[in-house]
Structure 1
Amino acid sequence: MNLDSVRDDSKLMVYVISDSIGETGELIAKASVKQFDTKDFAIKRYPYTNSVEQVKPLLEEAAAQKRALVVYTNVDMETRAYIKRKEKELNLAMVDVMGPPMEKLETLLGYEPMRQPGLIRRLDENYFKKVESIEFAVQYDDGKDPRGVVKADIVLVGVSRTSKTPLSMYLANKLYKVANVPLVPEVPVPKEVYEKDKRRLFGLIANSEKLYTIREERLRALGLNSSAKYANVDRIKEEVDYSVQIMKDIGCTIIDVSNKAIEETAEIINDYMISRF
């Protein structure tokens, strides 16, 4: 059969109806139309169309067109039932984007879907928040810029090798913006730390023996002499005593990380943050 002889030259109207922003439906519509040799089409997207009252005039408008396709991604049961009923009543060409995949998944998983609009959008937003939090942790790592203390959700303070950096990155994956500040007796603590909301300040301490072992291994890995001041037991005790005094002065929550995994410390901080805000 020669398709050219039966081609309809009237404009194709594609209605994308969604209870979220409609990106998925529009993408599918565009990808499908591009498979046909036509430029005479228009795609109209109707985001946040959640109810029967909102859908009704759009379906009637589509039915009045000579050539129209309705692509919908709605998940609400009442709205979906109405659209399906109107598909037959108005003799509309329709594509149900979400229905078939959800039905198959319901069969495979054995329970009903949540039917909440915009869940994928929320996941995308969380992804970008996570990236932003990780970039923040890198930018304001190790006291590079005291301005980070002001902007941070959480500020970690402690002597070297108390896991400030890895803990900052772990908390960033939980969407917290974290700045960390090293405590060194010879270096003044930034005034921003003293001005920070005490509920957001966490001091990390560890026993001297644990720090000595970690620092010695660190020096060995760098090919440096283990007799350096950095791994001197007396020096480490001095740093720990100094850090505890600073932590008391700024009024932060003190956590002993001597025998804690990063995940465990992060969970403690997360619990504090949830209870405080």
Structure 2
Amino acid sequence: MRVTVDPSPPPRTMNNSGSSSNFLLVPIPEYPAVDSMVVPNKNVKIVVLGASNVGKTALIVRFLTKRFIGDYEANTGALYSRKINLDGEQVSLQVQDTPCVSLQEDADDLYCQEQINRSIYWADGYVLVFSITDHSSYQTIQPLYQHVRRIHPSGNIPVILVGNKSDLLRARQVPTDEGETLAASLGGVYFEASARENHDGVHAAFLHLCQEVSRALGGGNGEKRRAGLHLARPKSPNMQELKRRFRQVLSSKVKSSTTL
């Protein structure tokens, strides 16, 4: 498999040190992370990968906030953090969004930005996403998984496969059994989910991967020796844009209610 890498660096982002509300996401501080209060026993780091317009960001936001917003700026590559309780243990969960990957004219030629390579190297678990309404997005999964394997040539790779947009059954192009077969070939579990309509399905998928990663990491602080490429850790995002989008959507809902 050939992989084309964009040599240009990802857009620079700035940190936001403001406090979060009950639905806003919290950015990860630049490395090294310092928490003067409570240090979780483990750092669970997962990355969400897939083609364009499959709903990667929508899935992440639905998982972390229980909310759905359909309008996102594409390919921001934001990195989010939240402390969660996992099987009775406090865990620092870090979720990396990524730009889209795409197949070139040759079906085995995968295009990945350098930012994606850094994210793959950094992560401990992988959410591979396609849309059940777009067969071409399904076709990117196998080459994408092989690319992950190239960066991590040895060891267990916790992975799940998510077929998003399960609410659009009339537009389905990928049957459920094809998703299940592909997930089994990757050594993972298949979930069909709807970021738009169902938080429970999205939560179940991400929680399953978090548990798999936690078991794979075992004891200690979750850091492991890596044998792949020596790539830098992803940067934290500028959270102001996401906050602005939340305010914009909430304001639109209020105006609509007033008009009615």
- How does the TM-score come out when normalised to structure 2? 0.32
Query: Which structure has greater strand proportion?
Result: 2
Query: Which structure has greater helix proportion?
Result: 1
- How does the TM-score come out when normalised to structure 1? 0.30
Q: Who wins on radius of gyration, i.e. which is larger? A: 1
